[in-house]
Amino acid sequence: MPSGVKRLIPTEVCETIIDFVAVRWDEVSTTYSGDRTWDYDVHATLGACALTCRAWRPRSQLHLMRVMSVRASNAGTRSFADMRTLFQRIPRLQSDVESLSIDGEDLEVPRFHLVPLVVYDILPRLPILTLCGGLIYMPTFFRVTMRRFVHLTHLRLHKATFASANDFRRMVESLRHLQNLALLLPEWVPYKLDRPCNGGPWPRSLIKLHNFEATAQARWITDTTSTRRTYAR
């Protein structure tokens, strides 16, 4: 080889290695109704690959965009604004997003129900959504917005707080194309409701779940602030 000529690894080989790194996402982190959460090391490695050289960026970026996370806060919606700006600048990336995880644990006021309004505006074709740690109640516009997610097939609720089992039912039934549902460590509001929930017979659901997983503490199941009927039938 002539002096001064650098040895180059073919781009195809580099892309295969990047794909192999991302496979750990599917093999190790696939849990709960198809929702997938990045292993920190995988995310860091793919981020480093994206910054290594221009040839590596498209493949690394593809995998990084498959799963996105946003932390909602009282300080504002900068993360959502950043997402909107990114997709306006590079529209093709919008179709790469397979899963979005939103953490509402930092919210000190009940604003988590506003999140779907923003999400639908940014990612109307989102198939997998995870809502973590926020208080969810069901004003009319929330149900209307949830019905617009016609491509949403996977929903994961992790440490979400509901006012009643009826609110939980109404939320799920708003997603007519839902196939996989995971309910992980849910909570009721920490105060008693002014009036008890209706414990009468519920109307037959129109959704047909393929998978339903629930992990809850006993006190949540027997809490008298809600009905004791189970949603799964």
Q: Which CATH number does the domain housing residue 176 bear?
A: 3.80.10
- From first to last of its 233 residues, what are the pLDDT tens digits of the chain? 455 556 578 888 888 988 888 875 544 444 443 444 556 677 788 888 888 888 888 898 888 888 887 776 654 555 778 888 888 998 888 888 988 888 776 665 556 767 778 888 889 999 999 888 777 777 777 778 888 889 999 998 888 888 777 888 888 888 889 999 998 888 877 654 444 444 445 556 677 889 988 887 766 666 555 444 434 43
Q: Sort residue 33 into left (φ over 0), alpha (ψ -120 to 50) or beta.
A: left
Residue 210 lies in a domain: yes
Residue 167 lies in a domain: yes
Residue 42 lies in a domain: no
Residue 92 lies in a domain: yes
Q: Is 101:127 a contact under the CB 8 Å cutoff?
A: no
Which residue carries 């900068």 as its tokens? 78
Residue 195 lies in a domain: yes
Find the domain containing 197 and state its range: 68-221
Count of the separate structural domains present in the chain? 1
pTM confidence score = 0.73
Distance of CA 130 to CAs 137, 183, 191, 221, Å? Answer: 16, 10, 25, 22
Q: Sort residue 192 into left (φ over 0), alpha (ψ -120 to 50) or beta.
A: beta
Residue 228 lies in a domain: no
Residue 21 lies in a domain: no
